[in-house]
Amino acid sequence: MNPIEYKNNQLHIEKINIQELSNSNQTPFYCYSEESIINQYDGLYSAFDMDIKIFYAMKANSNLSIIKLLLNKGSGIDVVSGGEIERAIRAGAKGKDIIYSGIGKTDEELNYAIESKVHCINVESQSELIRINDISKSLGVKQNIAIRINPDVDAKTHIKITTGMAENKFGIEYDYTESIYKIAADLKNINIAGISVHIGSQITSLKPFKKAYTIMYDIIKNLRSIGHKIDHVDLGGGLGVSYTTEENIPTFKEYANLIQSIFGNADIKVYIEPGRLLVANSGLLITKVTDVKTTTQKTFIIVDAAMNDFIRPTLYGSYHEILPIKNNLGTSNKVYDIVGPICETGDYFAKNRKMNSVKIGSIIAIKSVGAYGSVQSSNYNSRPQIAEILVKDDKYEIIRERVEVKDLIKQEKIATWL
């Protein structure tokens, strides 16, 4: 059974009726189904016949409860900043559970990561490698590292989330692999643990993965032949999810089979770093219709959520299904623009979308917002961040309180000369 579905024409998340949830919690808010996240984790993990370690890319949804839930499942955590390390530790992660990825790591962040004994740092440049060595030396430790390779593969996804092409800022060009591993091997406070790659996000075909992973296989073979010990390969995240029922996304099994066919007999530990895949479809953004406005050209459904709460539609032109809370209002042939209250024409969730008729006060749900939803929210227009709710079966808890405007202003002051 799908954890988010209509029962008696009423939208439910697990056993919770969303109309009732929105009667007792101020809209807009995010809510997540725990069962959905568990199903995704278990489905992915059990698709592999080989040993694999999942490091959840917490940038997709970094709420402490979501991290804790995945840690409890046995997941590790992929982090990309000092802030994410702190959150992961707060949620109960140990250093050994953490892989530190990402470009532009500062000395302070590296220091914190090394002190926290993170399992591995994925290195993005030669100068970063040298800095890791220097910091490790000053702390009297030897740090595990993997070099992130840029395989120059087009992931055929949105241009803003493509990371594995030569023109992108990420990773080390693969022609330079041998020399950087040689440099790493000569550094006294560096331990070469593995190698990593991540070519992008919301990838909907296995072809780019196959290309990139085959390149990685060849590089590993070569590095080993010249004496480097490569204990693990970190294949990054990026497998897409379906945002509509029509999309044809590779299954867990197909993805796992591809990885197994390349690395199954390579005598290497395999890590993956999925983010979106684990959490995207667990989440709904619940929002209330504040106005319905018809002009000569359009009918606008104006809701109390806005682009500051959920920016994906306007930032990437992404499609998210929008569901009425009650499914028995009769279908309308009318199309609507579903928009927020922010003073920008870019503040929309959907354009020319067919919807059941709604009226002022109706509750609607924006689907598949569990990944890159709340984490990308801002306070634009002095709109405080909204609450997040985790649902398990017939119970729920608020896992992030709604922020108050006074808290937004707290850190500001009026300059003394004013």
Which amino acid is it at 347? D
Q: How far is the CB of 361 from ligand LLP (least distance, A)?
A: 30
Which parts of 326-365 interact with ligand LLP (CB under 6 A)?
none
Q: Is the dihedral of CA 346, 349, 354, 356 positive or negative?
A: negative
Pick the binder of ligand LLP from 273, 304, 309, 388 (CB under 6 A). 273
Phi/psi at 291 (nearest 5 deg)?
-160, 150
Nearer to ligand LLP, 21 or 79 (CB): 79
369 and 320 Cβ atoms separated by less than 8 Å: yes
Near ligand LLP by CB under 6 A: residue from 12, 53, 105, 198: 198
Both tokens assigned to 299: 């009918």
Q: Does 208 bind ligand LLP (CB under 6 A)?
A: no
**Residues 102 and 80: beta-carbon distance below 8 Å:** yes
Residue 76 as a binder of ligand LLP (CB under 6 A): the answer is no
Stretch that binds ligand LLP, among 232-240, 284-292, 299-307, 388-396 (CB under 6 A): 232-240
Nearer to ligand LLP, 81 or 201 (CB): 201
Restricting to residues 111-150, name those near ligand LLP by CB under 6 A.
none
Contact, 119 vs 101, CB < 8 A?
Answer: no
CB of 169 to ligand LLP, least distance (A): 11
| Min separation Cβ 255 and ligand LLP, Å | 11
- CB closer to ligand LLP, 14 vs 84: 84
Out of 274, 283, 340, 370, which residue is the one contacting ligand LLP (CB under 6 A)? 274
**Of the candidate residues 63, 81, 101, 377, the single one contacting ligand LLP (CB under 6 A):** 101
What does the CA dihedral 163, 168, 171, 172 come to, rounded to 10 degrees? Answer: 140
* 3 state SS of 110: helix
- Residues 323, 324, 325, 326, CA torsion sign: negative
Least separation in angstroms between CB 128 and ligand LLP: 14
DSSP state of 111: H
For residue 373, which amino acid is it? G
Whose CA is closest to 194, among 260, 58, 99?
99
Q: Select the residue interacting with ligand LLP from 238, 283, 313, 340 (CB under 6 A).
A: 238
Burial 402-418 (b: 16+ CB within 10 A, else e): eeeeeeeeeeeeeeeee
CA distances from 220 to 149, 161, 275 (A): 11, 26, 25
Residue 343 is among the residues annotated as catalytic for this protein:
yes
Residues 147-176 that bind ligand LLP (CB under 6 A): 161
Q: Least distance from C-beta 69 to ligand LLP, angstroms?
A: 16
Could you give the count of Cα atoms lying within 13 Å of 154 in the half-sphere of its Cβ? Answer: 3
Residue 307 within binding range of ligand LLP, rule CB under 6 A:
no
Number of residues in contact with ligand LLP under rule CB under 6 A? 20
Label residue 330 exposed, middle or buried (CB < 10 Å: 0-12, 13-18, 19+).
Answer: exposed
Contact between 316 and ligand LLP per CB under 6 A: yes
Among candidate residues 1, 159, 343, 415, the one labeled active-site is: 343
Is 48 among the residues that bind ligand LLP (CB under 6 A)?
no
3-class DSSP assignment, residue 338: strand
385-414 positions binding ligand LLP, by CB under 6 A: none
CA–CA dist 189, 135 (Å, integer): 9
Q: Does 313 bind ligand LLP (CB under 6 A)?
A: no
Residue 59 has phi, psi (to 5 degrees) of -60, -25
Residue 237 found at the interface with ligand LLP (CB under 6 A): yes
Q: Does 372 bind ligand LLP (CB under 6 A)?
A: yes
In total, the chain counts a number of residues equal to: 418
Q: Judged by CB under 6 A, which stretch of 42-50, 55-63, 207-215, 290-298 contacts ligand LLP?
A: 55-63
Euclidean distance between CA atoms 305 and 286, whole angstroms? 8
Options 236, 313, 324, 370; binder of ligand LLP; rule CB under 6 A: 236
Structure tokens at 252: 């867990």
Q: Which residues are annotated as catalytic? A: 343
Write out the residues near ligand LLP by the rule CB under 6 A: 57, 59-60, 78, 101, 161, 198, 201-202, 236-238, 273-277, 312, 316, 372
